[in-house]
Every structure is written in structure tokens, then in C-alpha cells.
Structure 1
Amino acid sequence: MSRKISDIILIGPISTGKSTLGKLLAQKLGIPQCSMDDVRFNYYKEINYDEELAKQIREKEGFQGIYRHWKPFEAYAVERLLSEHKNCVIDFGAGHSVYEDDKLFKRVQQVLEPYINVVLILPSPDLEESIQILNERNGGIVTNRFDLNEHFVKHHSNYDLAKFIVYTKGKSPEETRDETLKIVKF
């Protein structure tokens, strides 16, 4: 029987409020918060992330190119972050829970398997409404007809990894925190 880990891991698209919710949960529970966006490049560099190469890829191929380039680094960062941080609230960057490559997805799925509190944060159960709300929050992130909000909202990875889903529409961050605390397990 595998050990079940009760840390709270928040996943979801850009601008869903993962970091804000993570901070509120950590304060309420009296435990640390770790935001992937604060530490990810430290982990990327452990496996030879080259900022100059990344810049060249972004200039040549746009956001989609750098997004693809980041994927192996993101999977590694998930593994490293979870190996180093225990008894805390962790909020992933949006890309850290979405993988187009099945091998990378399986790696992340395997490392998250023992975690019982993987919570997907979305604005609404209506996916189109979620996309609309996120577009209003972050101005829409579209490059070369690639809609990042739509991609993150509709991609199967978040749903396959999540143990729970919390919707934020019409709720304050504190109400979302309290709802999350009612569904997670310790």
C-alpha cells in the first residue's frame, strides 16, 4: 500500500487564483506555501536549462515553441519540488500540470499519485465560461491562433491529475479557501 500524502497541491490555468488561494490556505493551516513559479527556473537549471537557447526558440518559434521547449523541464521541476517540499500548500504554474507528451504526463501522474489533495481550480464548471472569465482576467493569451486559456481549460491533463475540482465564480478568495478546506483530506 502506497503512502498517502496530504499536502495540498493546486493546479489549473493561468489566472485562476492558485497562488492567492495557496497563500490563504497556508495561512489558515499554519503551514508553508511553495509556488512553483518562484522556484521553477532553479530546477530547470539543474538539468542544463539554457536561457539563451530558450530566448532564441521564443524569438524564432514564438510562445508555442518555448512552451514545447519547457515541457521536459516542467516535468522535472514537478518531481524535484515534490521531493523537497512536505507539509505545505503547493501551487503549480499552469503548464506544470498539462502535458501533450504521454511520457511526460505519465511521469507527473506517477509522482502525483500518492497525493490525495490535488485540487484543480477553475472559474466555472462551464468550460466556455471559464475561458471567457480567464480572458477577462488576463486579457487573453493567443499567439498564432493558439489560445492558451482554452488549451489549459480543455486539456485532459488537469482533469486526469486532479482529485477534486473547486470553482471560483462568484466567490471571494476566502470563500474559495473555506470550500477547499471542506473537501480536502488530512
Structure 2
Amino acid sequence: MSRKISDIILIGPISTGKSTLGKLLAQKLGIPQCSMDDVRLNYYKEINYDEALAKQIREKEGFPGIYRYWKPFEAYAVERVLSEYSNCVIDFGAGHSVYEDDELFRWVQQILDPYINVVLILPSPDLEESIQILNERNGGIVSNGFDLNEYFVKHHSNYDLAKFVVYTKSKSPEEARDEILKIVKL
């Protein structure tokens, strides 16, 4: 029987409130919070992330290009952050739970398998409404025809990795935090 890990991992699109909820959960539980966006570059650099190349790719190909460049680094960062942080709340960056490459997806899926509290945060069960709410929150993020909000909301990876889904529309951050605490297994 594999070991089950009860850390809380929050995943989901940009601007869903993962970091805010991570902070509130960590405070309520009296445990640390790790925001993947704060530590990811340290891990990327361990496997030769090239900031100059990333800048060139972004200038030439926009977000779609840099997004493709980031994917192997993001999967590696997931493995590293989970190997270094425990007994905490971890909020992933939006891309850390979305993979187009089947091999990278299976790797992250395998890494997350023992974690029983992987919570997908979305505004609404209605995907179009979720996209609309996120567009209102972050102004809509479109680069070279690539709509990030739509892409992250509709991509299968988040749903396949999540053990629970929490919808935040019409809830205060504290209400969403309390809902998460009712469903997770600590």
C-alpha cells in the first residue's frame, strides 16, 4: 500500500485565488505555505533554465512559445518542491498542473498520486462563466491568439490531477477556505 500524504495542494487557472487561499489555509492550520511561483525559478535553474533564451523565445513567439519552453521545467519544479516541502499548503502556478505532453503529464500525475488533498480551485462549475469571471479579474490574458484563461479552465490536466474541486463564486476567501477544510483529509 502506498503512503498517503496529507499536504494541501491547490491547483487551477491564473487568478482563481490559489495563493490567497493557501495563505488563509496555512494560517488557520498553523503550518507553512509554499507558493510555487515564489520558488519555481530556483528549481528551473537546477536543470539549466536559460533566462536569456526564455526572453528571446517570449519576444519572438509570445506567451505560447515561452509556455512551451517552461513545460519540462515546471514538471521538474513540481517534483522538487514536493520533495523539499512537507506538512504545508502548496499553491501551484497555473502552468504547473497543465501538460500537453503525455509523458510530462504522467510524470506529474505519478508525483501527485500519493497526495490526497489536491484541490482544483475554479470560480464556477460552468466553464464559460469561470472564463468570464477570470477575464474580469485579470483583464483577459491573450497572447498571439492564445487565450490563457480559456485554455487553463478547459484543459483536462487540472481535472485529472485534482482529488477535489472547490468553486469560489459568491464566496469570500474565508468561506472558500472553510469549504476546503471540510473536504480535505488531514
Normalising by structure 2, we get a TM-score of: 0.99
Deviation at 1:143, TM superposition (A): 1.3
Give the superposed CA RMSD. Answer: 0.4
Equivalence for 2:163: 163
Count of residues in correspondence between the two structures: 186
For residues 60 and 142 of structure 2, what CA distance do their matches in structure 1 show?
A: 17
Q: What aligned pairs does 1:2-151 form with structure 2 within 5 A after superposition? A: 2-151=2-151
Q: Percent identity?
A: 89
1:8-60 superposed Cα distances (whole Å, 9 cap, x missing partner): 00000000000000000000000000000000000000000010000011111
SS of the aligned residue for 2:7 comes to strand
For residues 62 and 162 of structure 1, what CA distance do their matches in structure 2 show?
A: 29
What is the identity, as a one-letter code, of the residue corresponding to 1:67?
A: Y
1:96-120 superposed Cα distances (whole Å, 9 cap, x missing partner): 0000000000000000000000000
Equivalence for 1:178: 178
Deviation at 1:146, TM superposition (A): 1.0
Question: What are the ranges of 5 or more consecutive residues in structure 1 without an aligned counterpart?
Answer: none
Question: What are the ranges of 5 or more consecutive residues in structure 2 without an aligned counterpart?
Answer: none
For residues 169 and 88 of structure 1, what CA distance do their matches in structure 2 show?
A: 25
Normalising by structure 1, we get a TM-score of: 0.99
For residues 46 and 52 of structure 2, what CA distance do their matches in structure 1 show?
A: 16
SS of the aligned residue for 1:49 comes to coil
For residues 143 and 48 of structure 2, what CA distance do their matches in structure 1 show?
A: 27
